[in-house]
Amino acid sequence: MEKNIIVLVSGGGTNLQALIDAEKNGEIIGGKITCVISSNPNAYALERAKNNGISTRVIPRREYADSKSYSMAVLDALDEEKADLIVLAGFMTILDECITSKYAYKIINVHPALIPSFCGEGFYGLKVHEKALEYGVKVSGATIHFVNEKADAGAIILQGVVDVKKDDTPEVLQKRIMENVEWKLLPKAVSLFCQDRIEIVGGKAYVTE
């Protein structure tokens, strides 16, 4: 049976677009994007979903007092949508344990750095690239990983690297990482998951043939 993929977004949604394009090209084997949920009513990602006939839900983060009450609302939506896989594609809210425990090893996130560098609470979007440039690292990249109860600490599925150049701005580095790593590896990891080709051994993730 094809898996129901629910994508959670907060912003521009270029990673969502990469997933939509991959699905159209037959590159997501065994799964289908059935719903997009946004924490931000104005996210352009919602337009991308609508333009492609994908149903959308908005659960505004600012209407909830804390992460727990917000996560309970998202959990209800995920259950209603019969989620088999949840993809955080530029989703800027940390999910509470009520979701991460129920959907253990069923939530995939894309983080724009090489975990365990430049990750955890407060490291999101352009801030990640600002910190990497400030540190002076010579390579950076992105990590596709499972989500557990600690921010950016779940099992790593795939990572890819790019060079950091002397004159890079956070925006330039972000674009290089998105184009060369995120937009390729996120659809790849989603397809591997939908084919049951990610094995967990001792809390670590391995891709099987």
Catalytic residue annotation: 111
Binding-site residue total for ligand GAR (CB under 6 A)?
16
Task: Yes or no: say if 170 and 10 are a contact pair by the CB < 8 Å rule.
Answer: no
Q: Measured between alpha carbons, how far is 113 from 140 in angstroms, rounded to an integer?
A: 6
Q: Measured between alpha carbons, how far is 80 from 60 in angstroms, rounded to an integer?
A: 18
Minimum CB–partner distance for residue 1 and ligand GAR (Å): 28
Q: State the Cα torsion 105-118-15-186 to the nearest 10°.
A: -40
Only one of the segments 8-16, 26-34, 51-59, 71-79 lies at the binding site for ligand GAR (rule: CB under 6 A); that segment is: 8-16
Instruction: Report if residue 11 touches ligand GAR, rule: CB under 6 A.
Output: yes
Residue for token pair 């690297």: 161
Closer to ligand GAR by CB, 78 or 113: give it.
113
Minimum CB–partner distance for residue 116 and ligand GAR (Å): 14
Query: 14, 71, 93, 148: which one contacts ligand GAR (CB under 6 A)?
Result: 14
CA separation (Å) from 99 to 4, 15, 77, 94, 148?
17, 22, 11, 10, 9
Instruction: Report if residue 125 touches ligand GAR, rule: CB under 6 A.
Output: yes
Instruction: Report if residue 112 touches ligand GAR, rule: CB under 6 A.
Output: yes
* 178: β partners: none
Minimum CB–partner distance for residue 126 and ligand GAR (Å): 8
Contact residues for ligand GAR, defined by CB under 6 A:
11-15, 45, 89-90, 110-112, 124-125, 128, 178, 182
